[in-house]
Structure 1
């Protein structure tokens, strides 16, 4: 960010007042805190008595909300860009997080009705709504209240907020807090409890600032993103549109679907594998760290990799092709689960696994360019098919995890490898044919 950008930003904040800047700050912080909390949640669920089925149900809920929410909401109406949309979304997620915080006590008192783990599952959709739609609504509300009075500074403010969330630059700060708490205690319930308390507080801050700004910000002035509400969203129409899509589009979608198992495995079961299935103390540089602190470091590495990967993907896309960029992103999803179940796991092998899991976002620029090139109806079908496949992938991953934790990750790696093969099927078959003809001759 150049000195002129800072000047424009300061001028813009001065013109619109400090409230939009405050909303921007708490929106980014809340999004990062909720994202980190969701990664710790499977281990928290296990500590409260949940088993493989509960973990799978949690993964299904978290990955399924992005599929269900657009169909139930008026996401692309004017309401979604106004403060009345931000306020309930922040408040609903904060309520869900508060129930998570109180779940051990609630389950202890009413365990015969609903155990603590059931309370976590019950409100999980409320928490998952914020990263699905809350940040988006917050950003568009900030843009709406800034209007045209802020000039370049307002635009700079919006760009900074967008970059901070998209690149996950705020997550390492939240993870630093989790690591500091983990230095005092290595109990998952205590660390997650403190993280939940902070996240609920930030969520209430988002709510209060958005309410205070309600009189200043009107409806969304317009959005340059393609609308997801205009095309027909019926399942039959979307499935039919995918079936009649050009072959390269269907091939890319099949490859993305295959990579969904890797995402499902990491969302639902990687925290449990690192924090509960194997819990060796490790030495990182000069520090002796327990599993919870190590997990914070691993998530930090993943966040950094996920922040850098899209920019690297842009460079790769310019130098190679869309298919090659997609394939490299999928390859990261192949190797990451295998590194996590290496026969002699250490924090180094886990770091490779989580780093590669973040690196899978190399494919984001190629995927975005692919979707932008589609007609609106097909773009909607593609966008909904991806999260739907990831949500459904939880089912086989859960079944595999119930048999053996390592089997779930090996299955995810194998299916992701099938996705890479799908991208290059013709070339691989042609190469095999040439080799076979050479041997026959």
Structure 2
């Protein structure tokens, strides 16, 4: 990205120019944001409901925890090779391949209830096994493509505007997080059997995956891609670990503890609503002399709660990114960490009413205030052309350590109690937040 091109982005006039300057929407970032919207819509329509889907297909609470751990393994393993691939072949082609693989994963989830139980070599394969298989594919764009998305924003944005650049992509992405679960809730309400109605959701996710893949391949301008060298195996990984900017280390420690805490309980949020509180929403609305009854099942109500969470996230992310340009990245990141840490204990101890759940999930939305600043703090110190690998290395370390968190949470959920699992998670999260507050360093462009 040349200085001239950056300058052109700043010199636009009018309302659109103001909008583009505020959100740092260079062409590549805009295309990336649209692709993020499509894939995030598909993933968020499905992912947050998958624990309930697993239970409906016969899985236990401990299996749900193992499912979360497999997701953690993917999050740990995929970003580094994904970042290396994007640095090598360019973001356009890398993201196209990752998009196709993710779409295939949505399709596997769609077909899972009709495949099984199947006997293979004397072993009975239950339908919920295919949810694990689909996860290996569906998370490709999200995790393999992580380094590529970070690199695109870094090469298209000035260092002092990184938080604003990430705010633009996150705003598109989190808008999908708002629309996706609400759309899923509507579709889930179309059939009384959850496994059937959720297949409607999965069908729509497949369609958005196809659209997102086509759009990003045709619209993304690859001329500004910076390509690195070929992947050098484990030696390259070890060198990248040694060369990670030292400013990232305190952030990495605090972030890892916070994410470990969240990983212990994240997959169980839907089960708290559907299995513990069993809270839905019922009311009657009168408009122009007509009366309409609204009766949401706990599964559908959970979708609307996620919508509330994302609505709050959308309202706070861009202002928080602008605030970071004045107060620095560190305080904004710490705020997000604190909400991450406290949410589990707030949720598990809240009154089991619809109104209380709305307030609790609105509070959860505040954790996203620090997300653009967090991403800027990760990729900011990276040299040009290495953003994908630096990001991949960071997430390789963080997500490798977080791998057992969901299995631990699943064990506590199944064999001790949900309350203990959520309380321990909150304690770990508070420790991580405190560590970052004490030792975390500011990115010099914001200092």
Q: TM-score, normalised by structure 2?
A: 0.72
Change (3 A) 1:285 1:358: farther
Change (3 A) 1:233 1:126: farther
Q: In 2, distance between residues paired with 1:24 and 1:326?
A: 22
Q: In 2, distance between residues paired with 1:233 and 1:271?
A: 41
Deviation at 1:343, TM superposition (A): 5.5
Please name the residue that 1:430 is paired with.
none
Deviation at 1:297, TM superposition (A): 0.8
Please name the residue that 1:270 is paired with.
269
Question: Of residues 304, 314, 329 in structure 2, which corresponds to 1:307?
Answer: 314
Q: In 2, distance between residues paired with 1:228 and 1:2?
A: 42
Task: Give the alignment of 1:161-200 within 5 angstroms.
Answer: 162=169, 164-166=171-173, 168-200=174-206
Q: In 2, distance between residues paired with 1:342 and 1:217?
A: 46
Task: Give the alignment of 1:231-380 within 5 angstroms.
Answer: 236-237=238-239, 245=246, 249-283=248-282, 286=285, 287-318=294-325, 320-342=327-349, 344-372=351-379, 374=381, 379-380=390-391
Change (3 A) 1:229 1:76: farther
Deviation at 1:415, TM superposition (A): 0.7
Q: Is the 8 A contact 1:100 1:120 kept in 2?
A: yes
Q: In 2, distance between residues paired with 1:197 and 1:372?
A: 35
Q: In 2, distance between residues paired with 1:342 and 1:392?
A: 25
Change (3 A) 1:32 1:234: same
Question: Of residues 427, 430, 436 in structure 2, which corresponds to 1:417?
Answer: 430
Question: Of residues 36, 57, 78 in structure 1, which corresponds to 2:66?
Answer: 57
Q: Is the 8 A contact 2:33 2:172 kept in 1?
A: no
Superposed CA RMSD in Å reads 4.4
Deviations along 1:7-29, one digit per CA (max 9) or x if unpaired, are x99xxxxxx9xxxx999867632
Deviations along 1:185-244, one digit per CA (max 9) or x if unpaired, are 454323321110111123234456678x4xx988553259x99979987565566567x9
Relative contact order, higher structure (CA 8 A, sep 6+): 2
Q: TM-score, normalised by structure 1?
A: 0.73
Change (3 A) 1:198 1:136: farther
Q: In 2, distance between residues paired with 1:106 and 1:217?
A: 37
SS of 2:104 mapped into structure 1: helix
Structure 2 residue 409 is matched with structure 1 residue 397: yes
Deviations along 1:369-407, one digit per CA (max 9) or x if unpaired, are 433453559955434333334334323322322221222
Please name the residue that 1:77 is paired with.
87
SS of 2:115 mapped into structure 1: helix
SS of 2:179 mapped into structure 1: helix
SS of 1:130 mapped into structure 2: helix
Stretch of structure 1 that moved more, 24-33 or 254-263: 24-33
Q: In 1, distance between residues paired with 2:408 and 2:125?
A: 26
Q: Is the 8 A contact 1:78 1:220 kept in 2?
A: no
Larger Rg: 1
Please name the residue that 1:115 is paired with.
126
Q: In 2, distance between residues paired with 1:342 and 1:285?
A: 29
Q: Which runs of 5+ in 1 are unaligned?
A: 10-15, 142-157, 427-441
Q: Which runs of 5+ in 2 are unaligned?
A: 1-11, 21-26, 153-164, 286-293, 440-447
Deviation at 1:102, TM superposition (A): 1.4
